[in-house]
């Protein structure tokens, strides 16, 4: 049985479990924890295995990460949950939904989810791996974050949100970051598996995201049986931090329309 990863929790009500990207930790959902708790939900944000106070998994694969997430869902004893993932976290969310559909009431896929093609690997993973290699030659995660995050935000990004994205990435352990980047390119859930998902899905991204483009997210939404796609203009790879008000409005509308109940 996988160990239950570290998480933060606020509020009471139906559970919304948030899975962060490789580029940060639970702090990258800080605005949503507050807004969801204020709207009558229990907002839970994990630290992915190897991040924060969560023990790493071995091997570091999507199967193992999904098993860790499923253990957390069981530990919360809340029945099926709304599962929201950002970037790599969206891939983990899909893996859980495929493997344990009874645990997932709704899915929210933020700036991630589709398997990476060669162009996405070039645009998303390669710059991060290069930055990490430069760090290992002399530097810090804080320097990496200050260099990397501004390259992937949109022109309309909220400055405070960008600062939080930088801060969260600066806290990541270099070894965990490398393992996560190596795992990113192995996600291989394709149309046959995704077309079997019954849970309603909100696919939410930035109109200026070069890591997971609006076209890629729209294609994902077309594959899923019950999905809607929302693209936020002038927003890059951190929609929940760059445009938290617009992001939260789309999220809460989706949850309200779908009548997420206890």
What local confidence, expressed as pLDDT, does residue 197 receive? 96
- How many of the other CB atoms lie within 10 Å of CB of 2? 17
CA distances (Å), 38 to each of 10, 114, 144, 247, 248, in order? 9, 31, 34, 15, 12
> Could you read off the pLDDT of 35-53 as tens digits, one per residue?
999 999 999 999 999 999 9
Per-residue pLDDT band at 1 (split at 50, 70, 90): low
What local confidence, expressed as pLDDT, does residue 212 receive? 96
The CATH homologous superfamily to which domain 7-257 belongs is Alpha/Beta hydrolase fold, catalytic domain (3.40.50.1820)
What local confidence, expressed as pLDDT, does residue 73 receive? 97
Task: Give the predicted TM-score (pTM) of the model.
Answer: 0.96
Mapped onto helix, strand or coil, the DSSP state of residue 146 is helix
Per-residue pLDDT band at 257 (split at 50, 70, 90): confident
């Amino acid at each position: 049985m996988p160990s239950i990863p570290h998480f933060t929790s606020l509020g009471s009500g139906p559970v919304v479990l948030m899975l962060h990207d490789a580029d940060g930790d639970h702090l990258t959902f800080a605005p949503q924890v507050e807004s969801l708790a204020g709207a009558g939900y229990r907002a839970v944000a994990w630290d992915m295995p190897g991040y924060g106070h969560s023990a790493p998994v071995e091997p570091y694969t999507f199967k193992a990460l999904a098993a860790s997430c499923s253990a957390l869902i069981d530990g919360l004893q809340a029945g099926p949950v709304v599962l929201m993932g950002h970037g790599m976290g969206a891939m983990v969310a899909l893996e859980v939904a495929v493997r344990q559909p009874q645990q997932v009431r709704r899915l929210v896929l933020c700036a991630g989810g589709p398997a990476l093609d060669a162009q996405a690997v070039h645009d998303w993973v390669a710059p991060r791996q290069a930055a990490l290699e430069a760090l290992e030659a002399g530097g810090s995660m804080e320097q990496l974050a200050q260099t990397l995050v501004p390259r992937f935000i949109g022109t309309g990004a909220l400055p405070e949100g960008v600062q939080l994205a930088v801060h969260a990435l600066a806290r990541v352990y270099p070894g965990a970051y490398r393992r996560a980047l190596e795992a990113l390119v192995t996600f291989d859930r394709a149309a046959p598996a995704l077309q079997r998902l019954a849970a309603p899905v909100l696919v939410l991204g930035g109109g200026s995201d070069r890591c997971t483009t609006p076209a890629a997210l729209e294609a994902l939404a077309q594959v899923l049986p019950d999905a809607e796609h929302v693209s936020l203009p002038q927003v890059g790879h951190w929609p929940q931090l760059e445009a938290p008000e617009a992001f939260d409005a789309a999220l809460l509308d989706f949850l309200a329309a779908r009548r997420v109940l206890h």
